[in-house]
């Protein structure tokens, strides 16, 4: 009989399994393992001791323990896109990348206003958030996000900083909502921008005809 191959697992992975935690990368569960990046993200958020912090997808909690109010943890279980968000001052999170776009706009339309969000995204998505007119990646996402917020690219994060490594590179951005927001109906504005970007090779005149 052929011998079975044994798969060696890292000590960190074994420790996580002992805690009864199993991660599924099909659901975007790539755990940020580099403590320097975790610490840097929290530092970029400039947290105050009185801040209420919202974290989405805490994983092993390696970022949660860096927050000043970690001893007042309130855990919410569910789909963040379907859940009414509580009051918070700052959002710091390593998100499942497949919910990036709807989560950004859920944040930006959230009231009352929060101060800032420091978020990890797939690199191309992050580049779209900060793209300027004339850039190849400039799109509806760029316009709508920058209409409602100031967005800054903070740092690049390689795939080897995650467990298991994803297939894409990542970046961290800081989002600060514009307060007060522009005096427009966002749904109507978004409908207008959607028409403008519906066909890349058409002029605006042809698109509106």
Q: Does 190 carry a binding-site annotation?
A: no
Q: Which two tokens stand for residue 207?
A: 């698109």
Q: Are 204 and 150 within 8 A, CB to CB?
A: no
The Cα angle at residue 54 between residues 51 and 55, in degrees rounded to 5: 130
Q: Are 208 and 195 within 8 A, CB to CB?
A: yes
Q: Which two tokens stand for residue 4?
A: 């079975």
Kindly tell me the sign of the dihedral angle through the C-alpha atoms of 151, 152, 154, 159.
positive
Q: Does 179 carry a binding-site annotation?
A: no
Instruction: Look up residue 24 and give its DSSP letter.
Output: -
Q: Does 152 carry a binding-site annotation?
A: no
Which segments of the chain does DSSP mark as H helices, in order?
11-18, 35-44, 100-108, 123-130, 140-148, 186-196, 204-208
Q: What is the chain's length? A: 209
User: Which residues line the annotated binding site?
Assistant: 1, 79, 94
User: Which residues line the annotated binding site for S-adenosyl-L-methionine?
Assistant: 1, 79, 94
């Amino acid at each position: 009989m052929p011998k079975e191959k044994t798969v060696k697992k890292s000590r960190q992975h074994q420790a996580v399994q002992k805690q009864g935690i199993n991660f599924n990368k099909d659901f975007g569960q790539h755990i940020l393992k580099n403590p320097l990046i975790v610490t840097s993200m929290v530092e970029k958020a400039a947290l105050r001791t009185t801040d209420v912090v919202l974290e989405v997808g805490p994983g092993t909690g390696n970022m949660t323990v860096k927050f000043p109010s970690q001893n007042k943890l309130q855990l919410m279980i569910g789909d963040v896109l379907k859940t009414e968000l509580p009051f918070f001052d700052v959002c710091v999170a390593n998100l499942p990348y497949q919910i990036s776009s709807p989560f950004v706009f859920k944040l930006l339309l959230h009231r009352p206003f929060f101060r800032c969000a420091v978020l990890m995204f797939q690199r191309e998505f992050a580049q779209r958030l900060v793209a300027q007119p004339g850039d190849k990646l400039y799109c509806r996402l760029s316009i709508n996000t920058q209409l409602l917020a100031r967005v800054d690219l903070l740092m690049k994060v390689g795939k080897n900083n995650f467990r298991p490594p994803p297939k894409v590179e990542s970046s961290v951005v800081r989002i600060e909502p514009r307060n007060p927001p522009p005096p427009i109906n966002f749904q109507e504005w978004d409908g207008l921008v959607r028409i403008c970007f519906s066909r890349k090779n058409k002029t605006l005149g042809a698109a509106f005809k």
